[in-house]
Structure 1
């Protein structure tokens, strides 16, 4: 739980992201451009990533950096994997469920993860062997409340599990819909409750599984014991990496849909560990 070394530096990065993002929110700027994939990008996304890149370059010049908005910077074996604003649509809508995701990886091994949610006043973090934690956070410097440990749920069968899936079926491809539909068919409850085969409609768009829960991401719901499993598809490595140690240190499990320990294949399955095998069988792509 301590803040020495790499984890301490990760918290400093999160503090900086907090300051930059909240200055943007206070300005009232709601401008956005559209990226090639159709998703929005705001000045906050660009400024946060730019500031974090600069701090890593100054204080950790040997480390590589991989962010969502700019080309990656090569370096040594350690790589910072960052999503400057996860939930840009929520930020633009004035909703609080957006965050900065920060991970440090050596190859495929994610050594630590920090999720900072300024508008929710909360932070989550974990490092190898240090447990998974959350705390209220009112902003730097020194605004962190008493850390509370995170623990996954005890459900031991997929048929008794509450699972989250994101994005909705109309926004993903046929292969991913098949995985989502397989998981939904085997679970007791699915959030959001949709026809995951994609044959139905989704107007208006459904809320994310984390909406109203005080978190920003379904993986955090697994770590907190509020979901038994969470499937995320069509995602970048920066959407996944920071959640891996948080879920694992809370007692849970992570893999991609092929069962590999990889955060760079576009999809992620997080679970409490007890239902992971069944969930993986349900989502595993056909050969």
Structure 2
């Protein structure tokens, strides 16, 4: 990776609790994750197991998390860490939040829309977000006050990073929204909220009956499938969708994309309107419709 260019673009003006050294470390972590993931991706012996929640996990998920934990511990032994596969470690105002492979099901199937999510939280505020999608050849990153950026992975001097910028357009009734997971995997409360959003907006992906818990046939694809991005929130940051609602999520699913969406000009909250990553719900949206969507999701008959 041409780390110098990415650090210069992404953290030239960083101040406060996160600096360019943290971004440089995140880039090295992404490089490590990319190398491991490429080695396992589409390998003939790649196998997945089912975790207690029914989601798949591979040795690539575990190896990436182990290696990134060790790298962070070597450079910042006092930092805390939380990952999807091995849980939390340590107590500190600084906490790294890692999803080794977001989109393991796609990874196992040989589809390219998966990524490693890397975030750094300081005093409960996410100060750095990095998404690396080596099979797509793309990365996205942001630090507060320095914009959201995307660039090729590995970097290409002839194609420098470009800044992500959202512009207001229309209202919630005209919006295109992505929702995940499908209604059959949601609680009754979350399904009701999703159904209200689906009914109140112009377009919803996937196009399902969100009011029923029936299993759709065939199983639906994530909103990001075929879009060139690997996480629904990035569809908002890049202007492909107006909003994205993720339900039943862990902090590792959410944290890395918060600064990317916000620095692109978007907004983030849970369904109560709080900027939290521990409630299981995450709504990313253009700022002009965020409150409209929250009101819609919370409406009762």
- Residues 38 and 285 of structure 1, relative CA distance in 2, 3 Å threshold: farther
Contact 2:113 2:229 in 1 (8 A): yes
**Paired residue total:** 283
- Tell me the alpha carbon deviations over residues 150-190 of structure 1, each in whole angstroms, 9 at most, x when there is no partner: 12242241011111101111111111101101111111111
Could you tell me which residue of structure 2 aligns to residue 75 of structure 1? 91
Match of 1:116 among 109, 132, 143: 132
> Conserved in 2, the CA contact under 8 Å of 1:164 and 1:209?
yes
Asked whether the equivalents of residues 31 and 42 of structure 1 are also in contact (C-alpha less than 8 Å), the reply is yes
What is the match of residue 262 of structure 2?
Answer: 248
* Aligned counterparts of 1:49 and 1:155: Cα–Cα separation in 2: 39
Kept in 1: contact 2:116–2:132 (CA 8 A): yes
Q: State the SS of the aligned residue for 2:41.
A: helix
Residue 50 of structure 1: CA displacement?
0.4
Choose the corresponding residue for 2:288, options 255, 274, 279.
Answer: 274
CA gap 1:177/1:26 in 2 versus in 1, 3 angstroms: closer
| Alpha-carbon offset, residue 199 of structure 1 | 5.2
Change over 3 Å in CA distance of 1:95–1:26 after alignment to 2: closer
Q: Distance in 1 between matches of 2:50 and 2:56?
A: 5
1:170-189 counterparts in 2 under 5 A?
A: 170-189=184-203
Aligned counterpart, 1:20: 36
Partner of 1:160: 174
Of the three residues 229, 238, 246, the one matched with 1:224 is: 238
Q: TM-score scaled by structure 1?
A: 0.95
Deviations 1:171-215 (A, max 9, x none): 111111011011111111111111111255411111111111100
**Runs of 4+ with deviation above 6 angstroms:** none
The alignment partner of 1:104 has SS state of: strand
In 1, the alpha carbon distance for the partners of 2:53 and 2:116 equals: 20
Q: Which sits farther off after the overlay, 69-78 or 221-230? A: 69-78
Alpha-carbon distance in structure 2 between the residues aligned to 1:146 and 1:27 = 31
Partner of 1:132: 148
Find the counterpart in structure 2 of residue 47 from structure 1. Answer: 63
Q: 1:285 to 1:116 in 2, by over 3 A?
A: farther
* 2:58 corresponds to 1:35: no
Secondary structure, counterpart of 2:87 in structure 1: coil
Quote the offset at 1:60 in angstroms.
1.1
Instruction: Structure 2: give runs of 5+ residues left out of the alignment.
Output: 1-8, 12-19
Alignment partners' CA distance in 2, 1:28 and 1:285? 49
**Cα displacement (A) at 1:143:** 5.3
CA contact under 8 A between 1:175 and 1:285: conserved in structure 2?
A: no
Q: Does the CA-based 8 Å contact 1:258-1:285 persist in structure 2? A: no
Distance 2:271 2:217 in 1: 28
Cα pair 1:257 1:285 within 8 Å, conserved: no
Shift, 1:30, TM fit: 2.1
Query: 2:62 aligns to what SS in structure 1?
Result: helix
Partner of 2:118: 102
Contact 2:120 2:126 in 1 (8 A): yes
SS of equivalent residue, structure 1 residue 6: helix
- SS of 2:88's equivalent in the other structure is coil
1:80-99 superposed matches below 5 A? 80-99=96-115
After superposition, the C-alpha distances for 1:240-272 in whole angstroms (9 at most, x for unaligned) are 001100000000100001100101111100001
Provide structure 1 residue ranges, at least 5 long, that are not aligned to the other structure. none
